[in-house]
Structure 1
Amino acid sequence: MSLQSFDDPAGGADHPARLAQLRARLAADGLDGFIVPRADAHQGEYVADADARLAWLTGFTGSAGFAIVTPDRAGVFIDGRYRVQVKAQVDPAHFTPVPWPDTKPSDWLREALPAGGRLGFDPWLHTRQEIETLEKALADSGIGLIAADRNPLDAIWADRPAPPVGCARAHDDAIAGETSAEKRARLAARLRKEGQAAALLTLPDSISWLLNIRGSDVPKNPVVQSFAVLSDDGHVALFADPAKFDDALRARLGNEVAILHPDGLSPALLDLEGPVRIDPATAPEAAFRLLESANTQIARAADPAILPKARKNAAELDGMRAAHERDGVAMVRLLAWLDAQDPAGLTEIDVVEKLESLRLEAGIIDTSFDTICGAGPNAALPHYRVTRATNRRLAQGEVLLIDSGGQYPDGTTDITRTVPLGDPLPDAAGPYTAVLRGMIALSRARFPAGVAGAHLDALARQHLWARGLDYDHGTGHGVGAALCVHEGPVRISRVSTLPLESGMILSNEPGYYREGAFGIRIENLIAIVETEAEPGRAMLGFETLTLCPIDRRLIDIAALSRDEVEWLDAYHARVRDTLSPHLDDATRSWLDQATRPLDVSRIREKC
């Protein structure tokens, strides 16, 4: 059985009928509209079936977005990654795609609702920051935001699945590089220093990192769905279904971690002594309201685990390096196999299943996200997810984009490679080379301490911009160590102002997408490391973790600089030297060819 389902999770449903039911329910509740986010109470990227409200209502299955439903409009708000996908998934007669953030929800609502309109929302599914931002934007509109006592969509979802109860497991302290007791003591000391009695943790990856546990509640993200209260003495009240924990794990957690049923969270918040640290960017609006109703002093501050988790220690970095070596072997085996096939004999699903089988042999627990495997025009969908309905047969002269990753016991991987099928597509060579040059520029970057992702983002886009091209997604996201493949808060994007620090791991993935034709993305994971600098100045750079050849058949070698050629040749030599001992003779021979040096005689000398 495949780890990835190829069924359309929203396929075949009567979404217009569901929309009509929701509108009737809103009228009965005295609401003029309702926000349906693609989120659960933990703001996770992957949601359990019980929390897939946006897909259930609209048919849209992307990993980000939301809908706003009024009596005569139903807007599905999506960013640039999903503007093609949404057209294929929602019924245009009933749902209207809305480009976001180009169109602000507040501007859309001012047209959709009259003054005095009552817009409902579920306070467990939106952060305090989200609600405050929307309230401010609607301040002079006469539109009121109403926190619903019960989500009206849940009231009409008759066959809504039960919440997940996946088994929790211990995460080895040697791989974590620090015991849970040490982490709890470190964070508790920070609470005491800042005069805070406790902190509410709502992000499952923060909680799983803090307690050195992993889970299986949602696919791809090995976290335990839970809430936690960390006290200033290091004790933790963990609100999670007790059925997830066996006796051995309970004993490992010890007496300083109490496992309590999730139903106990609200009463516990009402009883907390303040000041309570709570993150307005990640914690539910409902949690703030509970604390405020008890007149508990609130300390608005970032989740105390979020930055320590992002700064990987030496053991975590070693685990990530080891995982990437095994993952590189799986990827090389896939690419060698793919080159030996007649493309016409394969479909996208065939490639996904082959890669999954190779990663299982390499030791994955799960994939780190649903594999994006798009051929031809499907590759132009940045977050395309193949289903049996969309499964495309590969064809000569097309481009195949494969974005995939694995969850290993000691690390998380995420890699994208774009390969031509047969003779290279002439129109793709220029954009492919521009994408590659941007990826190399970021890989080679050195920068002083204090620089943020927004400062570096243009390095990856510069050669695309020079051709009048761009891409509508960030250049890089944070990556967890045997945790979530998309990890906050660090990013490489135009809007990320968080300073980059040693030990953080990011993706480096510029791309280009031509709707209806092809898509290109090249992605490696990179770790921030200290580099040489003059005395008194701290400088940082990147170590590339991913080990896999970058296809050379679409490269316009004449457009590269000598420095770029030297970087690529050195990277390929490292890939070859590291992976060759783990390969059979035929695959090793393929790798030798795929990593041979570029022909520098074809480089145009540049002034």
Structure 2
Amino acid sequence: MTTAKWIWRLALSILALLVVTSEANEPGGYIREVCKYRKAKLLQPVTEYRQRLHKLREQMKIRSAVQGLEIDAYILPPYDEHMNIEIGEHDRRVQYLTGFTGTGAFAVVTARTAAFWVDNRFVQQADAEIDCEWELYRMNDSVTITTWLSAKLHADQRVGVDPHHVPHHLWLRWQRELANRLLVLSRVNNNLVDMIWTNQPAPSNFTISVQERQFAGDKWEDKVEELRLKLQTFSCDAIIVTSLTEIAYLLNIRGMDIPYTPVVRSYLIVSHDEIFFYVDHNKMSQGIDFHLRTDCYNERCVRIKEYNKIWNDLRTYAQIWKRIFVPGPCVQEEGSSEAVHNALPSNIIYTEVSPIIFMRAQKTPEEQRGMREAHVRDAAAICEAMSYLESRFFLEQWTEEKIRYEIDRSRLSQNNTRGLSKRSVVAFGEHSALPYYISSNVTDIEVTDQSLLVIESGGQYYEGTTDMSRTFIFGEPTAEMKHAYTTVLAGMLELSKLRFPSNLRASGVDVLVRRLEWEDMVDYPQTSGSGIGAYGAVKERKFAEFFSRKLKRTNTMQLI
């Protein structure tokens, strides 16, 4: 063998080894059976979502040509500007790009590939809804967004993301992990999906309503004064409130800007002598002006500004204030966005769990009374729906979706109803064993008289918010059903009798409920029980996680 042939064969061997190694290091995601037959096909079906993906890639190139900063990958988070994942139609960018109708999914796009991360409960739904061009991954799997990007990109390439839709703590994590892989995380202030969304719905324009004092208990002026006292303990000049539920609580207002939660799309800044409310002026009314005292100019009056003026004001007041409280993440809140942090000098930012969380935890007598009344109204709605089901069960065919419709109809017919607090789910038979089953027309099955029926739903009322789960046994229960039902019931009864110290964490309480299940070497992935709360979000933060910080738990504090 000549020297030239030997070198040629060696080069081919090295190249083959590199290809095999590269393929072995490729991230492996959810196996999409429906897409197997399409692999290696030259012609792929053209859908509107495939065309949108192509247009997004064009926007990545256009941005490079116009602004001179090349974007080699683009991350599309599931959040709106206030870090909600239950969002209005205007903010459903992931759905527009991919066709996925669930919540909490991340989409990542490069010049040649695309990947999709979704919660485990939505995997099958995502597999059925998104194109085969998307690789599918589960959240909290071994393949994360940053590890996937490191396998697809080369050193010094840039990853773009809109900072208005990313929590600051998540931005820092991505930035650190990408930097360790020699990649750069870059801010793209103009959302690229908005650039291709020609018929994007406008933000909702519902008028703001007042949460009357008979339900709220405290006046909003008193809440603001309490917040100012807390700012003094942190030596802060002002706080920017980005959580919509906290704004609704603090000002005693409600809205209809996102599904299932009565909040108003807005920002709020509270300093020691001023209050600024950033909201669409079209949502204001004479009653709201009177409620918020917008016609005066002292520390107990609210000044109304347009929603997008927040960014200019942050930069302006950063020259005046020496220390600004910017809420950080806690159990069920993501904290403020990267855009908020980027608008302020880092040396004046003080980040901590929002003090409004603890204020909301202290339920007033009026809120406690309202919660009990809401529970009675909601129980009546469920009893009415199930009574109708019982009377008509053998006279017509019943399915999961038909029962869900009847439950929603009954709940929405109650006095003082303000809608649903969550999407109702009805699961029957084998579906009742799925931890996070999402009922739909695709999965709908007939309900017979020989299995378990599980209902998860909730309602919004002026008096309060409910979140309930109910299990019904149709036919003769098996021994396994009886045992599982009895052990869970015994755990809940044991919890209801518990007297506990003020510094006990929620995890310590939850042990009592699960003890009997653990003795049988079984467990359940859901939270233990549901509950009721003041009229607002169906999921308030898990206050008990923070009671170890010497916060005294009182008999007016509601743990849900």
TM-score (structure 1 length as normaliser): 0.75
Q: Which residue of 2 aligns with 1:329?
A: 380
Question: Structure 1 residues 475 and 28, CA, compared in 2 at 3 Å: closer, same or farther?
Answer: farther
Give the counterpart letter for 2:446 in structure 1. Answer: R
* Aligned residue among 426, 441, 450 for 1:373: 426
Give the counterpart letter for 1:87 in structure 2. Answer: D
5+ long unaligned stretches in structure 2: 1-45, 64-69, 330-334
1:214 Cα deviation after fit = 0.7
Alpha-carbon distance in 1 for matches of 2:473, 2:132? 34
Q: Does residue 1:249 correspond to 2:288, yes or no?
A: yes
1:26 Cα deviation after fit = 2.5
Alpha-carbon distance in 2 for matches of 1:142, 1:477? 45
Q: Which residue of 1 aligns with 2:349?
A: 298
Give the counterpart letter for 1:346 in structure 2. Answer: W
Question: Structure 1 residues 152 and 397, CA, compared in 2 at 3 Å: closer, same or farther?
Answer: same
Q: Secondary structure of 2:189's match?
A: coil
Checking the alignment, whether the CA contact within 8 Å between 1:74 and 1:96 is kept in structure 2 is no
Checking the alignment, whether the CA contact within 8 Å between 2:73 and 2:109 is kept in structure 1 is yes
Q: Which residue of 2 aligns with 1:16?
A: 50
Q: Does residue 1:149 correspond to 2:189, yes or no?
A: yes
Alpha-carbon distance in 1 for matches of 2:107, 2:437? 20
Question: Structure 1 residues 248 and 219, CA, compared in 2 at 3 Å: closer, same or farther?
Answer: same
Q: Does residue 1:278 correspond to 2:312, yes or no?
A: no
Q: Secondary structure of 2:164's match?
A: coil
Q: Which residue of 1 aligns with 2:246?
A: 206
Give the counterpart letter for 1:342 in structure 2. Answer: F
Q: Which residue of 2 aligns with 1:351?
A: 403
Give the counterpart letter for 1:334 in structure 2. Answer: A
1:103 Cα deviation after fit = 4.3
Question: Structure 1 residues 437 and 92, CA, compared in 2 at 3 Å: closer, same or farther?
Answer: farther
Alpha-carbon distance in 2 for matches of 1:433, 1:65? 36
Moved more, 71-80 or 128-137: 71-80
Question: Structure 1 residues 501 and 189, CA, compared in 2 at 3 Å: closer, same or farther?
Answer: same
Question: Structure 1 residues 166 and 290, CA, compared in 2 at 3 Å: closer, same or farther?
Answer: same
Question: Structure 1 residues 357 and 195, CA, compared in 2 at 3 Å: closer, same or farther?
Answer: same
Q: Which residue of 2 aligns with 1:187?
A: 227
Give the counterpart letter for 1:460 in structure 2. Answer: V
Q: Which residue of 1 aligns with 2:310?
A: 265
Checking the alignment, whether the CA contact within 8 Å between 1:80 and 1:473 is kept in structure 2 is no
Alpha-carbon distance in 2 for matches of 1:140, 1:399? 50
Alpha-carbon distance in 1 for matches of 2:462, 2:356? 21
- Report Cα offsets for 1:462-508 as digits up to 9, x if no partner: 3333334333344468864100001225378xx9988793444444x
* Aligned residue among 355, 376, 393 for 1:342: 393
When Rg is computed on C-alpha atoms for both structures, the one with the higher figure is 2
Q: Which residue of 2 aligns with 1:173?
A: 213
Checking the alignment, whether the CA contact within 8 Å between 2:88 and 2:258 is kept in structure 1 is yes
Give the counterpart letter for 2:512 in structure 1. Answer: L
Question: Structure 1 residues 18 and 283, CA, compared in 2 at 3 Å: closer, same or farther?
Answer: same
Alpha-carbon distance in 1 for matches of 2:477, 2:48? 42
Q: Which residue of 2 aligns with 1:415?
A: 468
Q: Which residue of 1 aligns with 2:80?
A: 40
Question: Structure 1 residues 362 and 95, CA, compared in 2 at 3 Å: closer, same or farther?
Answer: same
Q: Does residue 1:128 correspond to 2:176, yes or no?
A: no
Instruction: Name the Cα RMSD after superposition.
Output: 2.7
Question: Structure 1 residues 328 and 466, CA, compared in 2 at 3 Å: closer, same or farther?
Answer: same
Q: Secondary structure of 1:318's match?
A: helix
Alpha-carbon distance in 1 for matches of 2:412, 2:383? 14
- Report Cα offsets for 1:518-560 as digits up to 9, x if no partner: xxxxxxxxxxxxxxxxxxxxxxxxxxxxxxxxxxxxxxxxxxx
Q: Which residue of 1 aligns with 2:66?
A: none
Question: Structure 1 residues 22 and 237, CA, compared in 2 at 3 Å: closer, same or farther?
Answer: same
Q: Secondary structure of 2:355's match?
A: coil
Q: How does 1:428-467 map to 2 (within 5 A)?
A: 428-467=481-520
Checking the alignment, whether the CA contact within 8 Å between 2:220 and 2:252 is kept in structure 1 is yes
Give the counterpart letter for 1:26 in structure 2. Answer: M
Higher normalized helix content (fraction of residues): 2
1:93 Cα deviation after fit = 4.9
Question: Structure 1 residues 328 and 259, CA, compared in 2 at 3 Å: closer, same or farther?
Answer: same
1:259 Cα deviation after fit = 1.5
Question: Structure 1 residues 78 and 146, CA, compared in 2 at 3 Å: closer, same or farther?
Answer: same
Checking the alignment, whether the CA contact within 8 Å between 1:411 and 1:482 is kept in structure 2 is yes
Q: Which residue of 2 aligns with 1:530?
A: none
* Aligned residue among 71, 74, 77 for 2:111: 71
Alpha-carbon distance in 1 for matches of 2:47, 2:553? 46
Checking the alignment, whether the CA contact within 8 Å between 2:241 and 2:267 is kept in structure 1 is yes
Question: Structure 1 residues 260 and 368, CA, compared in 2 at 3 Å: closer, same or farther?
Answer: same
Question: Structure 1 residues 97 and 140, CA, compared in 2 at 3 Å: closer, same or farther?
Answer: closer
Alpha-carbon distance in 2 for matches of 1:500, 1:381? 38
Checking the alignment, whether the CA contact within 8 Å between 2:547 and 2:553 is kept in structure 1 is no
Q: Secondary structure of 1:413's match?
A: strand
Question: Structure 1 residues 112 and 435, CA, compared in 2 at 3 Å: closer, same or farther?
Answer: farther
1:43 Cα deviation after fit = 1.3
Q: Which residue of 2 aligns with 1:96?
A: 136
- The number of aligned residues is 491
Checking the alignment, whether the CA contact within 8 Å between 1:126 and 1:285 is kept in structure 2 is yes
Checking the alignment, whether the CA contact within 8 Å between 1:201 and 1:229 is kept in structure 2 is yes
Give the counterpart letter for 2:452 in structure 1. Answer: V
Q: Which residue of 1 aligns with 2:446?
A: 393
Q: Secondary structure of 1:416's match?
A: strand
